[in-house]
């Protein structure tokens, strides 16, 4: 009888251990899925402003640094991808972004952090244009009055 009780107690202990491990695994999967849901960006409900409208806002000399940042964030969010190069030549689309960089560099309330942040964001989304973006920023900073 002692041997049967020992086997049953070991079996019961094993079953209990299995249930606990399964519960922990299920709980960790639920936590990971919640983190994934939280880390995903909420869908923007803002209407998509045109590139030209954002560029004209940027020309407003009365904008504060905070408002400038909002406009630049909108440009990156809604119009951040530049059309691909053709035969190693920048697309016509790139000229619009050069204009934005020049406007930003010459704006009276711009800061180095705004310029550098916009440059980094634009270059990270358009790695084939990184050199051209850097050159445009350099030229824009030289044109500052």
Residues 27 and 61 in one domain: no
45 domain-assigned? no
Q: CB of 104 within 8 A of CB of 72?
A: yes
Residues 64 and 120 in one domain: yes
Tell me the mean pLDDT in the region 34-56: 74
DSSP 73: H
Closest C-alpha to 136, from 88, 91, 92, 104? 104
Residue 67 token pair: 């408002």
Q: How many CB atoms lie within 10 A of CB 42?
A: 5
Residues 30 and 100 in one domain: no
Half-sphere exposure of 13 (CA within 13 A, CB side): 6
DSSP 129: G
Residue 139's pLDDT is 93
Residues 79 and 128 in one domain: yes
Tell me the mean pLDDT in the region 4-8: 78
Structural domain for 74, as ranges: 51-142
- Burial code (b: 16+ CB inside 10 Å, e: under 16) for 3-18 equals eeeeeeeeeeeeeeee
Question: Count of domains in the chain?
Answer: 2
Confidence of residue 30 (pLDDT cuts 50, 70, 90): confident
136 domain-assigned? yes
Q: Is the pLDDT of residue 70 over 90?
A: yes
63 domain-assigned? yes
Residues 24 and 56 in one domain: no
46 domain-assigned? no
């Amino acid at each position: 009888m002692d041997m049967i009780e020992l086997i049953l107690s070991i079996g019961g202990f094993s079953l209990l251990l299995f249930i606990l491990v399964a519960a922990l695994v299920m709980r960790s999967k639920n936590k990971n899925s919640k983190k994934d849901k939280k880390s995903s960006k909420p869908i923007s409900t803002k209407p998509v402003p045109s590139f030209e409208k954002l560029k004209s806002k940027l020309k407003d000399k009365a904008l504060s640094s905070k408002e400038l940042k909002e406009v630049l964030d909108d440009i990156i969010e809604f119009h951040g991808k530049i059309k691909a190069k053709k035969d190693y030549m920048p697309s016509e689309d790139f000229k619009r972004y050069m204009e934005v960089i020049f406007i930003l560099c010459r704006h009276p309330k711009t800061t180095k952090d705004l310029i550098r942040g916009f440059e980094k964001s634009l270059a990270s989304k358009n790695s084939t244009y990184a050199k051209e973006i850097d050159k445009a920023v350099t030229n824009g900073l030289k044109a500052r009055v």
